[in-house]
Structure 1
Amino acid sequence: MNRLTQGVILLLFGGAILRASFTDLYLRYVKEGLRPFLIATGVLLVAAAVMTIWYSWRFPAEHDDDGHGHSEHGPGVGWLLILPVLGLLLVAPPALGSYAANQAGSVAAAPVGDSDYPPLPEGSTVELSLIDYASRALFDEGKSLTGRDLKLTGFITTAPDGAPMLARMVLSCCAADGRPIKLGLTGRAPIDVPADTWVQVTGVYTGQRGKDPVNNVDVAFLEVKSWQEVPQPKQPYA
């Protein structure tokens, strides 16, 4: 591959990173706080690409000759490396969903320590993250949840027995290390809803528990009172 080809690929790759960074697309790959690093990386790649292309045009003889009278032109197949880069520019892959959730074991919800869980905010219905609900349900025996209507948002996945579960992917850094947090659903659970459908469920705490068959982690349950389909959130990961 000659330097011109390298420069074009660098330019497209840097452009793809910048395009994702200046839209919400990057949230499908990394956590929100990494946006400045993506922008810096994209700028550096574009700058390197511009310098490489300029050098190949400014000094074509020096670029094409290896000093022994041999031309440095690489095989045309090198340009095929542009295809995956164009894929990043033209096709936006979806965020991790039910397939990834079913392949990986549920995140083990962690207790807050020796102190009690703080009381939930006032209001008729309290919105919680899945991991906050699971942590309070499993390690606080639902003390801070009892008697409250709770609203949670996630996508539908299925248990091995076909029962619907509510899930959301949790990232440490990027989508490559994403793992799911899963909740079992009882009551008026969304039955026969396609996997990957995003729903907002309103329900109450139940002491029922289960096990994730993938890694044998405890799974909390929620008794559903009502639910509705919602668009995928801007930030799909927890």
Structure 2
Amino acid sequence: MKRATQSLLLAVTGAVLLRMAAGDSYLRYVNSWMRWPLLACGAFLVVLALVDVLRQQGSQDDDHEAHVPRAAWLLFAPSLVFFLVAPPALGAHFAERAQSAVVPVDTTTEVDFPPLPEGDPVPIVLDEVLLRAAYDDGATLADRPLELEGFVSRDKAGTWFVTQFGMNCCAADATVMRVAATGVDAPADDQWVRVVGRHVAGTGDGGRGTPEVVVEDLELIEAPKNQYR
């Protein structure tokens, strides 16, 4: 591979990063706070490629140009995958095979959760349901209709769940957060839903099980731009 080709591939890689971060597609792979680092990296790669091209034009060393390793073609692989495959966000297939999030409860620590906000139903995120169910046996969830959003997944036994992925940095460290849903038939896997249901006392106790809600209302919704928490 010649240096000019290597510079071109470097510029293409930077352009892909800029395109991903300028839109919403980067949210399939990394957390939302990564937008600016991706933009900076993309701009840096493009500038680096341009500088290398200018240096080559001012250089008379033709032999140096012929000794760029073939491994440099690997720079093109991420760009090719992005344009031809564009992997979607993680979904039901991964959730069914991954271990669900476990809340480690320290019995020596007292956790005093505030009451849920006024107004029914109460919009609540899945990780808060997991925490409240684990630490106080769902006492602060009792007798309140909860509004949850997530995609549909199921286990080998056929139980279906309202599911989301929690992510610290990128999709590689994603953990499954899910709440079992009963009372209605499951929509198709990966379908995003908004459900209103009531927590079943005793489920999710101590982080040893999955919280469960009895669904009173179910609505099919579009997947959000950012499908991770």
| Shorter-chain TM-score tier | 0.7 to 0.9
The alpha carbon displacement at 1:145 in A equals 1.0
Could you tell which deviates more after superposition, 216-225 or 228-237?
Answer: 216-225
The alpha carbon displacement at 1:110 in A equals 5.1
Partners of 2:201 and 2:191 in 1: CA distance: 26
Determine the structure 1 residue equivalent to 2:194: 200
1:234 counterpart = 2:225: yes
- Give the superposed CA RMSD: 2.5
Residue type matched to 2:216 in 1?
K
Q: CA offsets, 1:130-163, max 9 Å, x none?
A: 1111211222111111121111111111111112
Task: Give the TM-score taking structure 2 as reference length.
Answer: 0.88
2:210 equivalent among 198, 210, 219: 219
Residues 105, 217 of structure 1: 8 Å contact kept: no
Determine the structure 2 residue equivalent to 1:65: 63
Q: CA offsets, 1:31-66, max 9 Å, x none?
A: 11222111111111111111122323443x41x314
> The residue matched to 1:65 in structure 2 has which SS?
helix
Residue type matched to 2:164 in 1?
R
Determine the structure 2 residue equivalent to 1:160: 156
Following TM superposition, where does structure 1 have runs of at least 4 consecutive aligned residues deviating by more than 4 angstroms?
73-81, 110-113
Partners of 1:47 and 1:122 in 2: CA distance: 53
Alpha-carbon distance change, 80 to 130 in structure 1, aligned in 2, over 3 angstroms: closer
The 5-angstrom pairing of residues 21-32 of structure 1 reads 21-32=21-32
Alpha-carbon distance change, 194 to 146 in structure 1, aligned in 2, over 3 angstroms: same
Task: Give the TM-score taking structure 1 as reference length.
Answer: 0.85
Q: CA offsets, 1:206-234, max 9 Å, x none?
A: 125379xxxx9521111111111111112
Residues 185, 221 of structure 1: 8 Å contact kept: yes
Alpha-carbon distance change, 111 to 121 in structure 1, aligned in 2, over 3 angstroms: farther
Residues 5, 78 of structure 1: 8 Å contact kept: no
Partners of 1:179 and 1:75 in 2: CA distance: 38
Alpha-carbon distance change, 48 to 161 in structure 1, aligned in 2, over 3 angstroms: same
> The residue matched to 1:135 in structure 2 has which SS?
helix
Residues 13, 75 of structure 2: 8 Å contact kept: no
1:180 equivalent among 161, 176, 179: 176
Unaligned 5+ segments in structure 2 are none
Higher strand share: 1
Partners of 2:66 and 2:88 in 1: CA distance: 40
Residues 142, 201 of structure 2: 8 Å contact kept: no
1:147 counterpart = 2:111: no
Q: CA offsets, 1:84-139, max 9 Å, x none?
A: 41332454321011122122101113569523111111112111111111211222
Residues 150, 204 of structure 1: 8 Å contact kept: yes
Partners of 1:171 and 1:24 in 2: CA distance: 16
Partners of 2:215 and 2:42 in 1: CA distance: 45
Residue type matched to 2:56 in 1?
S
Unaligned 5+ segments in structure 1 are none
Residues 128, 152 of structure 1: 8 Å contact kept: yes
